[in-house]
Structure 1
Amino acid sequence: MDNHFVFRAPQTIHYGRKAFEKVGEETLARGKKALIISDKVMERLGYTEECRNLLLNLKVESAFYTGVNSEPTDVYVAESLEIFEKENCDVIISLGGGSCIDTAKAISVLATNGGYIGDYMGGKKIADKHPIPHISIPTTAGTGSEATDATIITNTTNDVKMMIKQPAFMPEVAIVDPLLTLSSPKGVTAATGVDALSHAIEAYLSVKAQPMTDMLALSAVEKIVKNIKVTYEDGKNIDAREAMSLGSLQAGMAFTNASVCLVHGMSRPIGALFHVPHGISNAMLLPAVLEFSKEACIERLADLARIFKPDCGNLSNKEAAELTVYEVKKLCQELEIPNLKGWGIQPEAFKNATSKMAEDALASGSPNNNPKVPTKQEIEELYEVCFEYQFSSESMVTK
Structure 2
Amino acid sequence: MVASLSLPRILRIGRGAAEELGAVVAGLGLRRPLLVTDAFLVGTGAAERLLGILRGAGLSPALFDGTVPDPTTDSLVPGLEALRAHGADSVIGFGGGSPMDTAKALALLGVQGGRMRDYKAPHVNLGPALPVIAVPTTAGSGSEATQVTVITDSATDEKMMCLGPAFLPIAAVVDMELTLSMPPRLTADTGVDALTHAVEAYVSRKSGPFTDGLALTAIAGIGRHLRRAYADGSDAEAREAMMLAATQAGIAFSNSSVALVHGMSRPIGAHFHVAHGLSNAMLFPAVTAFSVHAAPERYADCARALGVASTADPAASASAALVEALHTLCHDLDVPTPRSYGIDHAAWAGLTPLMAEQALASGSPANNPAVPTAAQIEELYARVYA
Shorter-chain TM-score tier: over 0.9
Pairs within 5 Å for 1:318-329: 318-329=316-327
In the alignment, is the contact (CA less than 8 A) between 1:113 and 1:127 conserved in 2?
no
TM-score when scaled to structure 2?
A: 0.98
Pair 1:268 & 2:262 matched: no
Change (3 A) 1:141 1:295: same
Deviations 1:287-311 (A, max 9, x none): 0000000100100111122123366
Corresponding residue number in structure 1 for 2:14: 16
Identity %: 44
Deviations 1:85-138 (A, max 9, x none): 0111111111100000000001111112221111011355x6454311111000
Q: Aligned equivalents of 1:35 and 1:87: distance in 2?
A: 8
Corresponding residue number in structure 1 for 2:217: 219
Quote the offset at 1:68 in angstroms.
1.3
Pair 1:210 & 2:208 matched: yes
Aligned-residue Cα RMSD (Å) equals 1.2
Corresponding residue number in structure 1 for 2:70: 71
Q: Aligned equivalents of 1:377 and 1:65: distance in 2?
A: 43
Corresponding residue number in structure 1 for 2:35: 36
Q: Aligned equivalents of 2:126 and 2:316: distance in 1?
A: 46
Picking from 183, 200, 216, the partner of 2:181 is 183
Pair 1:353 & 2:351 matched: yes
Structure 2 gaps of 5+ residues are: none
Corresponding residue number in structure 1 for 2:315: 317
Which one-letter code corresponds to 2:120 in the other structure? Answer: M
Which one-letter code corresponds to 1:139 in the other structure? Answer: T
In the alignment, is the contact (CA less than 8 A) between 1:213 and 1:255 conserved in 2?
yes
My pick for the range that moved more, 60-69 or 190-199, is: 60-69
Corresponding residue number in structure 1 for 2:119: 120
Quote the offset at 1:69 in angstroms.
2.3
Which one-letter code corresponds to 2:163 in the other structure? Answer: K
Give secondary structure in 2 for the equivalent of 1:13.
strand
Which one-letter code corresponds to 2:366 in the other structure? Answer: N
Q: Aligned equivalents of 2:92 and 2:371: distance in 1?
A: 38
Give secondary structure in 1 for the equivalent of 2:61.
strand
Pairs within 5 Å for 1:159-174: 159-174=157-172
Change (3 A) 1:312 1:109: same
In the alignment, is the contact (CA less than 8 A) between 1:305 and 1:323 conserved in 2?
yes
How many residues align structurally?
385
Give secondary structure in 2 for the equivalent of 1:61.
coil
Corresponding residue number in structure 2 for 1:97: 96
Change (3 A) 1:219 1:78: same
Q: Aligned equivalents of 1:90 and 1:31: distance in 2?
A: 6
Q: Aligned equivalents of 1:8 and 1:18: distance in 2?
A: 26
Pair 1:380 & 2:378 matched: yes
Which one-letter code corresponds to 2:241 in the other structure? Answer: A
Corresponding residue number in structure 2 for 1:288: 286
Q: Aligned equivalents of 1:90 and 1:56: distance in 2?
A: 15
Pair 1:197 & 2:195 matched: yes
TM-score when scaled to structure 1?
A: 0.94
In the alignment, is the contact (CA less than 8 A) between 2:303 and 2:309 conserved in 1?
no
My pick for the range that moved more, 74-83 or 308-317, is: 308-317
In the alignment, is the contact (CA less than 8 A) between 1:109 and 1:127 conserved in 2?
no
Picking from 14, 23, 26, the partner of 1:25 is 23
Deviations 1:156-210 (A, max 9, x none): 1000000011111101101100010001000000000000000000000100000
Change (3 A) 1:314 1:28: closer
Corresponding residue number in structure 1 for 2:155: 157
Pair 1:237 & 2:235 matched: yes
Q: Aligned equivalents of 2:118 and 2:37: distance in 1?
A: 24
Q: Aligned equivalents of 2:188 and 2:236: distance in 1?
A: 16
Which one-letter code corresponds to 1:55 in the other structure? Answer: L
Give secondary structure in 2 for the equivalent of 1:151.
strand
Pairs within 5 Å for 1:327-366: 327-366=325-364
Quote the offset at 1:59 in angstroms.
2.1
Q: Aligned equivalents of 1:35 and 1:209: distance in 2?
A: 35
In the alignment, is the contact (CA less than 8 A) between 1:113 and 1:128 conserved in 2?
no
Pair 1:248 & 2:246 matched: yes
In the alignment, is the contact (CA less than 8 A) between 1:35 and 1:63 conserved in 2?
yes
Q: Aligned equivalents of 1:90 and 1:260: distance in 2?
A: 31
Corresponding residue number in structure 1 for 2:87: 88
Quote the offset at 1:228 in angstroms.
0.0
